Structure formats: structure tokens, C-alpha cells
Amino acid sequence: MRAILVSFIFLAGVGAGSTLSDAAVRGQVRPKLSVDVDGYVYDWDNIGRFVLPGETLRLATSDYASSSGWVASAGELVDEGNATCWVAPQEPGLYPIIVTSGSTVRRINAFVMIPYDSLDKKGYLKGVRIGKYPKPIAEFPNFTRPKGFIVVTPDNLDTPVSPRYTLRDFTPRTMEGFPKYTVLREELLVKLELLTDLVQSRGVKFDRFTVFSGYRPPSHNYRVERGRNSAHIYGGAADIVLDGNKDGQLDDLNHDGQSNRKDAKLLAGYVDDLEAQHPELVGGVGWYSRTRSRGAFIHVDVRGKASRWHQ
């Protein structure tokens, strides 16, 4: 199902919030039902949220009078009048929460994570090598150790975490077998969805970005980046290409007959435009030239401070 996002707002009294809309699905205009999750307001059909055991999500809708009320697959729902609180169960896993209004359905795919403290002193989580996290870098506010790790199984691998993206997109390719473990920040999903909308609004025809590298555990990232710190290890980064013609390469965005660093730089410029509109999503952007082993691409993240580079 394709969804189109149309706006992004701040909610008074609760900090930054996002309004994300799928007003056109299969060519039909659908009734609006906004969902407020802890101050973030979505018009998405599918919303990914990542919580710890026993953590509470505060839920509300824009259509409280006619909505069906919340239904949760597990955990506890507590009615607070104009809002509902969902208390996550203790067992890690996927727990969908659903609300409807007429034919409109909103689904929160709530993933209860394994707490960070479950990582042992050698950097293993349930026998899987994750690696040791470095000390935070004060310069980048979102370079902080994750709250926990999402458990990825064959059953939840293709679960939507936003209108266009699934858990598979951000799961490490280097982990063999199941379960796998990943980390993902909700702000990254918002940024990718809004970036998709912005680029489409400029006349570029494509459905979604191809994410070929999302979360990378510290043990793997050290080998790839030759450094310990990276937005990838905090679940806040994605390496992406715009591959509308499905040939496995970054599209020829400047129409010069080639796919190269010029197209990557142009795509990075769209991220600059997005951050100018939404400074709450500021982060790093890197554009990478084509090599013998891979095509050109860009890196985008939500580190909390602007950073730019080219390789």
C-alpha cells in the first residue's frame, strides 16, 4: 500500500510532533484519522514504535467521538478520557495496536525491545555478537546508546514500520540466522518518508528509496568504517539510493546519461532542502561516488546536528 505524506507540525506543550498523511491510496481520498502517539501525530496507516518492557505509550485520535477505540493484541489499555495509555508487556516481541474510524484503519506496530543492559560485557546479546558501544559524542545529541534491541524473526521481518518501509530495510544483512537484532529511531522513519515526498514533489518518479544499509552493530561497523562511532550503530542512519527504474543503481537524476557522484550530490541537496523546512530532523548527509564494487549513493541520518561530507 502506498501512502503520501503531506505535512509536518509542532504540537504545543509536547515538543516536536509530526503529522504524516496518506490522503491518496489507490486513487481514492480517504477519511482523515490522525493518531497521536506520545506527542507525535501521524496520518500513517502503519506506525512503527519501539519501547521497553512495561513502557507506556499515550494514545489519542483526532476523531475520538466516532473512532472504534483502541484494540491491543497484548499489554494493558487504560482509558484516561480524551486519551488511552498502553502499557507494554514484559515479553519482547511485536504487539500491534489498532484503531478505526469508518473504513480508515490505523495500526501501531509496537515492538517491545530487549533492554540495552542485556548486552553482556563482551558485547554479546543472547549469543549474537553486537559489540561494545563507545562513549557518547557530546557534539551529536543523538549519538547515545540505544534503549534496547528489536528482536527480528522470520514472522516480523516484513512488518511495516512506516507507510513505505519495513523492518527488513533496517535489519543488519551481516547477521546470520534468526533471531536477528536491530536498532531503529522513529525520527529516521519520519525523515525518510518526508524526503520521499519532497523528491516526488520535484517531479522524480519513484515509489521509495532502496535502503541497503540501516543498523550496523558496532562489531561490524568498526570493520566497515574503520572507526567506532557512527550514526548507523545508534539506529539513526540509512544508506540509500533512488532506484526508480529498478536497475540496482542510483537513477540519472541530472539526465546526463550517467549514474555517478553528480546524481548523489543532487540527491543530497534534497536533504538540505528538507532540513531547512524541518530543522528538528537535522543530521548528517554524505554523498558517495561510484566505485568498481558499488554504485553512487547517499548517507542520511538524524544525529541532531548538521554534518556534510563527500567520498
Looking at the DSSP assignment, which residues form a beta bridge with residue 175? none
pTM of the model: 0.88
Region for 40 from its dihedrals, namely left if φ exceeds 0, alpha if ψ lies in -120 to 50, beta otherwise: beta
All residue ranges of the chain with pLDDT < 70 are 1-31, 64-65, 222-228
Cell for 229?
562511532
pLDDT at 188: 98
* Among candidate residues 1, 50, 38, the one with its CA nearest the CA of residue 189: 50
pLDDT at 107: 97
pLDDT at 8: 35
Which residues fall within 8 angstroms of residue 308, CB to CB, at 6 or more apart? 268, 284, 285, 286
- Please state, in angstroms and rounded to a whole number, the distance separating the CA atoms of residues 22 and 30: 8
Query: Which class for 231: exposed (0-12), middle (13-18), buried (19 or more C-beta within 10 A)?
Result: buried
Locate the DSSP E strands across 116-170.
124-125, 128-129, 148-152
Looking at the DSSP assignment, which residues form a beta bridge with residue 85? 58, 78
pLDDT at 227: 54
Which residues fall within 8 angstroms of residue 185, CB to CB, at 6 or more apart? 142, 234, 235, 236, 302
